[in-house]
């Protein structure tokens, strides 16, 4: 009995081995190597010299780093609540019994299959002045005088709006599907009973649907915070971090430091600080969730 | 996909380092074996009889890419001993790939570098010195344009053979200029070459042409307005933005502000379209009277149907003729194991490219050897001769390793704010001075 269990374990390990080897080689080992890099001056080519805690010290006093971290945080604040509201609204629309149900589901989900570059370039075309869709539309409904233009991509405030809108449009599909499946798990009997008791749509949503969505909302919030904090490509393509680096997120700064300035040691240091921030965020979230359920 | 991006970048890099270290030792020995087989002809000082194969990394696409391939094919045909293999890399990633590849011993035999990027590559140990090999290959440095060549000499040593210069010049739409009555009988614009003269010229264009026409097509951010600023700053006598010892920010704030102020007014007076999403397209579709960019656009305009255009050096707006420019140069990346035969062959190839610049000029570039300008094939190309003289007035960067960083992190950023009227030219100069110093200190 005992021996056969051991054999089964060994057999399982054997099957796991290919994955474990690759995982260690391509994920664990580079992570360890990355920690080492933070203590060196390290160019694109080679390890130069040991600098101790200098990279960390420099980071503490580097305004650019903290501004970039704030920009990533601001993006989280901007997109997380809006994402959740939008995903719920879309899921409610697609969950209604309607002949267009299938169409809704497809249309809401389709942007998610695009790659980030495609989504971002669409965003560029939509928001650019003179011939972009948004400005042309505003001219057409006479909300914007013919002779003036809104420069969505070059004003700090507006470019945040543009980036957030594109991100929401592009990524809402996945969260929408999660909410939709959660809604479909709510038993119909509860809703019927509520209707018999005279509840209106709003009562049903607020007292039945929404509470049932609470576990998935927690998951989505956590995933959304983490992925929003790591925003890079959309902003890089749409605004390039400008104007005056006022929309530059931390990942872009890491990329620029490592690959444009050939300063990999410092870039690795920033990466690990971001890693720690995300780790703490996830831990706090996990703790809050568990406490409530207990 | 986005989730692990930051981590992946770093992990990939460290992995590349780890694997690269292993890879280098293996492939390094292989190639050196191979080289021995092909080049071990005893006493072959002319290199004849034995084939040398050179790997060449380029960053050209589009018309440039096709012209370079045509030149390589021609070279391979006329030089049976030397075969060049072209690897086209994406321009945005070119330098990163070159530096990492050379770092772990897998670099190409021949490569391309911009003159402005050369000091950085030298500093990182990517580029080898050329004087000995040039002598062996019989290269006559005096056959090159001295202004272009001097920009590639660092500490008295040659590191690269320039094949062209691609300065910032002006294009004009002949049809629109004619409509505005500003085209002379010689087919050139009627304009007084002075600060007021150029503005008066633009004002005329603005008044005489329909309001849909942009008098002056120029982007509102980054490269091209920066190049115009650099040109005007140099015309005023400004001498780069760093000191001669390359250690201190030395932006001449008065001259810089004067140049920036002049350009700012071109934007605010409506001569340049605000936030033009695509100023190339604007000019190409015949809705802009003049435009300024690098000479590489010539090939594009020629291929455009119904675009009657002319090209000329940018006007002498201030005291002395000067413009922004850079050069493509041929470099010999540092090899793990030096191979004199390969180096010599590479040098012959580099010099041949420069000597046969008439093909390269098809894309619009100005050849680096004055003798090419005299060739009938070059003279047969229209437009190029109209601006070939600019090669002597290009104001290059000083040989700092930080040129690109200064441009990207200190100059673009604040100049962009000036163009949108959010910062005064004088304030921008102060901020730029600090930012340049910060880059230099890092």
B interface mutation test: which of A46, A54, A171, A257 has the most B CBs within 10 A? A46
Say which residue the tokens 């000029």 belong to.
B361
Q: Is the pLDDT of residue B46 over 50?
A: no
Answer whether B13 sits within 8 Å of A264, measured CB to CB. yes
pLDDT tier at B267 (50, 70, 90 boundaries)? Answer: very high
Contact A271 B6 (CB under 8 A): yes
User: What is the residue whose two structure tokens read 């030395």?
Assistant: B250
In this predicted structure, which of A41-55, B334-348, B412-426, B428-442 has the lowest mean pLDDT?
A: A41-55
| CA distances to A65, A229, B152 from A163, in Å | 21, 14, 42
Q: Averaged over A218-245, what is the pLDDT?
A: 87
Cα of B256 to nearest chain A Cα, Å? 19
**Average pLDDT rounded to a whole number, residues B124-130:** 91
Chain-chain contact of A30 with B2 (C-beta, under 8 angstroms):
no
User: Residue B112 forms beta bridges with which residues?
Assistant: B330
pLDDT of residue B34: 36
Cis peptide bond prior to A243, omega within 30° of 0: yes
User: Nearest-CA distance from A282 to chain B in Å?
Assistant: 14
Lookup result for tokens 């933005």? B241
Torsion, Cα of B286, B288, B289, B293 (10° steps): -100
d(CA B8, CA A230): 12
- H-helix or E-strand spanning residue B52: strand B52-58
CA distance A116 to chain B (A): 9
CB A233 within 8 A of CB A248: no
Cβ contact B405–A261 (<8 Å) = yes
pTM score, whole prediction: 0.80
What band does A152 get if pLDDT is binned at 50, 70 and 90? confident
pLDDT of residue A293: 56
Instruction: Enumerate residues 75 to 104 of chain B having a beta carbon within 8 A of any beta carbon in chain A.
Output: 96, 99-100, 102-104
pLDDT tens column, B223-250? 999 999 999 999 999 999 999 999 999 9
Residue contacts between A and B (CB atoms, under 8 Å): 116
Q: What is the pLDDT of residues B61-113, one digit of tens each?
A: 877 888 899 999 999 999 999 999 999 998 888 998 999 899 888 899 999 99
**How many whole angstroms separate alpha carbon B189 and alpha carbon B201?**
9
Q: Is the pLDDT of residue A271 over 90?
A: yes
- Is the pLDDT confidence value at B24 over 80? no
Q: Give whole-number Cα distances, B341 to B22, B103, B432, in Å.
A: 27, 22, 47
List C-alpha distances in Å: A204 to A93, A179, B375, B401, B438.
15, 16, 85, 67, 60
Tell me if chain A has a CB within 8 Å of the CB of B9: yes
Cβ pair A45:B442 closer than 8 A? no
Helix A264-293 × helix A210-229 angle, to 10°: 170
State percent of chain B over pLDDT 90: 66
Q: Indicate the pLDDT class of residue B14, thresholds 50, 70 and 90.
A: very low
Residue B8: its chain A contacts at CB < 8 A?
Answer: none
- Min distance A20 CA to chain B CA atoms (Å): 17
Contact B22/A at CB under 8 A: no
pLDDT band at residue B37 under the 50/70/90 scheme? very low
pLDDT at A63 over 80: yes
What's the confidence (pLDDT) of residue A191?
83
Q: Is the pLDDT of residue A1 over 80?
A: no
Which tokens belong to A43? 């160019």
CA distance A92 to chain B (A): 27
Top pLDDT among B33 and B333 is at B333
pLDDT of A97 higher than 90:
no
pLDDT of A71: 93
Give me the pLDDT at residue B17, please: 43
Please indicate if any CB of chain A lies within 8 Å of the CB of B12: yes
- The domains of chain B, with CATH numbers, are 5-163+327-392 (3.40.190.10), 168-325+402-441 (3.40.190.10)
Please check the confidence at residue B408 and state whether its pLDDT lies above 70: yes
Report how far residue B117's alpha carbon sits from residue B256's, in angstroms, rounded to the nearest whole number: 23
Helix axes B5-39, B340-355, angle to 10 degrees: 100
B287: tokens are 């809705």
Mutate to test the interface with A, among B10, B22, B278, B415 (most CBs of A within 10 A): B10
B44 touches chain A (CB under 8 A): no
> A264 and B102: CB-CB below 8 Å?
no
The verdict on a CB contact (< 8 Å) between B99 and A44 is yes
pLDDT at B15: 45
Under the banding of pLDDT at 50, 70 and 90, the label for residue A154 is: confident
Question: Does the pLDDT at position B322 exceed 70?
Answer: yes
Please answer yes or no on whether B416 and A244 come within 8 Å at the CB atom: yes
- Give dist(CA A112, CA A171) in Å, integer: 5
Note the pLDDT of residue A3.
Answer: 66
Q: At what angle do helices B253-268 and B223-235 cross, to 10 degrees?
A: 130
B20 vs A235: which has the higher pLDDT: A235
pLDDT for the residue numbered B281: 92
pLDDT tens figures, B344-372: 999 999 999 999 999 999 888 999 999 99
Q: Is B201 helix (H, G, I), strand (E, B) or coil?
A: helix
Partner-chain contact A44 B275, CB within 8 Å? no
Are the Cβ atoms of A37 and B10 closer than 8 angstroms?
A: yes
Would the CA dihedral through A183, A189, A191, A194 be positive or negative? negative
Rounded mean pLDDT of A193-213?
Answer: 85
> With pLDDT > 70 as the criterion, what percentage of chain B qualifies?
89
Contact A30 B4 (CB under 8 A): no
Q: Are strands B394-395 and B161-162 parallel, antiparallel or unpaired?
A: unpaired
| Residue A93 pLDDT exceeds 80 | yes
Which of A35, A38, A45 to mutate to probe the B interface, most B CBs <10 Å?
Answer: A45
**Does the pLDDT of residue B27 top 60, yes or no?**
no
Q: State which residue of chain B sits closest to A226, comparing Cα positions.
A: B3
Measure in Å the smallest separation between the Cα of A223 and chain B Cα atoms. 9
User: Which whole number is the average pLDDT over B112-121?
Assistant: 93
- CA angle in degrees (0–180, nearest 5) for A138-A144-A145: 130
pLDDT > 70: percent of chain A? 98
Shortest distance between the Cα of B278 and any Cα of chain A, in A, equals 10
Contact between B163 and B75 (Cβ < 8 Å): no
Mean of pLDDT over chain B: 86
Residue A215: the pLDDT is 86
Min mean pLDDT across A1-15, A120-134, A175-189, B285-299 is at A1-15
Complex ipTM: 0.73
């Amino acid at each position: 009995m005992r021996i056969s269990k051991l054999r089964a374990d060994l057999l399982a390990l054997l099957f796991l081995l290919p994955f474990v080897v690759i995982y260690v080689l391509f994920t664990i080992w580079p992570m360890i190597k990355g920690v080492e890099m933070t203590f060196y001056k390290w160019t694109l080519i080679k390890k130069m010299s040991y600098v101790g805690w200098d990279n960390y010290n420099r980071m503490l006093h580097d305004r650019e780093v903290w501004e970039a971290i704030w920009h990533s945080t601001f993006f989280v604040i901007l997109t997380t609540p809006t994402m959740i509201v939008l995903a719920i609204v879309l899921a409610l629309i697609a969950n209604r019994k309607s002949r267009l149900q299938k169409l809704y589901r497809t249309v809401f989900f389709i942007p998610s299959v695009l790659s980030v570059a495609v989504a971002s370039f669409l965003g560029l075309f939509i928001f650019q002045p003179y011939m972009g869709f948004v400005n042309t539309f505003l001219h057409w409904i006479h909300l914007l005088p013919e002779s003036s233009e809104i420069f969505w991509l070059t004003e700090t405030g507006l470019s945040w709006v543009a980036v957030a809108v594109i991100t929401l449009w592009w990524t809402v599909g996945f969260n929408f599907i999660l909410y939709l499946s959660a809604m479909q798990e709510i038993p119909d009997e509860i809703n019927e009973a509520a209707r018999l008791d005279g509840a209106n749509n709003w009562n049903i949503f607020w007292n039945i649907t929404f509470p049932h969505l609470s576990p998935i909302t927690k998951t989505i919030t956590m995933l959304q915070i983490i992925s929003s904090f790591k925003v890079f490509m959309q902003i890089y393509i749409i605004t390039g971090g400008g104007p005056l680096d006022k929309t530059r997120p931390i990942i872009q700064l890491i990329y620029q430091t490592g690959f444009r300035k050939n300063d990999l040691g410092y870039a690795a240091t920033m990466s690990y600080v971001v890693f720690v921030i995300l780790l703490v965020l996830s831990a706090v979230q996990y703790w809050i969730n568990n406490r409530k359920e207990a | 996909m986005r989730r692990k991006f930051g981590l992946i970048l770093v992990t990939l890099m460290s992995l590349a380092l780890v694997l690269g270290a292993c890879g280098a030792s293996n492939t390094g020995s292989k190639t050196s074996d191979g080289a021995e087989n092909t080049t071990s002809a005893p006493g072959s000082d002319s290199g004849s009889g034995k084939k040398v194969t050179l790997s060449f990394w380029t960053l050209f696409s589009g018309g440039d890419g096709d012209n370079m391939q045509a030149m390589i094919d021609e070279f391979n045909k006329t030089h049976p001993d030397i075969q060049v293999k072209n690897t086209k890399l994406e321009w945005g990633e070119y330098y990163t790939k070159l530096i990492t590849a050379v770092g772990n011993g897998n670099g190409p035999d021949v490569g391309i570098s911009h003159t402005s990027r050369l000091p950085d590559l030298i500093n990182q140990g990517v580029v080898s010195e050329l004087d000995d090999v040039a002598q062996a290959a019989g290269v006559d440095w005096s056959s090159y344009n001295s202004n272009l060549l001097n920009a590639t000499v660092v500490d008295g040593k040659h590191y690269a053979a320039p094949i062209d210069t691609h300065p910032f010049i002006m294009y004009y739409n002949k049809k629109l200029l004619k409509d505005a009555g500003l085209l002379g009988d010689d087919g050139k614009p009627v304009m007084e070459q002075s600060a007021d003269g150029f503005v008066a010229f633009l004002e005329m264009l603005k008044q005489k042409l329909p309001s849909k026409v942009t008098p002056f097509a120029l982007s509102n951010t980054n490269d091209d307005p920066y190049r115009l600023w650099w040109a005007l700053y140099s015309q005023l006598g400004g001498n780069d933005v760093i000191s001669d010892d390359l250690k201190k920010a030395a932006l001449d704030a008065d001259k810089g502000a004067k140049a920036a102020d002049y350009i700012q007014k071109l934007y605010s007076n409506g001569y340049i379209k605000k936030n033009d999403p695509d100023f190339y397209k604007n000019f190409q579709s015949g809705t802009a009277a003049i435009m300024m960019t690098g000479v590489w656009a010539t090939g594009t305009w020629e291929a455009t149907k119904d675009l009657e255009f002319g090209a000329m050096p940018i006007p002498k707006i201030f005291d002395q003729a000067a413009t922004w420019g850079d050069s493509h140069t041929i470099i010999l990346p540092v090899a793990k194991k030096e191979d004199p035969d390969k180096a010599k062959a590479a040098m012959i190839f580099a010099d041949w490219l420069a000597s046969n610049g008439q093909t390269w000029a098809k894309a619009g570039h100005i050849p680096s050897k004055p003798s090419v300008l005299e060739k009938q094939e070059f003279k047969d190309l229209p437009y190029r001769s109209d601006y070939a003289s600019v090669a002597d007035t290009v104001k290059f960067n000083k040989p700092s390793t930080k040129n690109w960083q200064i441009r990207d992190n200190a100059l673009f950023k604040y100049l962009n704010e000036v163009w949108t009227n959010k910062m005064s030219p004088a304030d921008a100069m102060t901020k730029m001075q600090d930012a340049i110093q910060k880059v230099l200190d890092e």
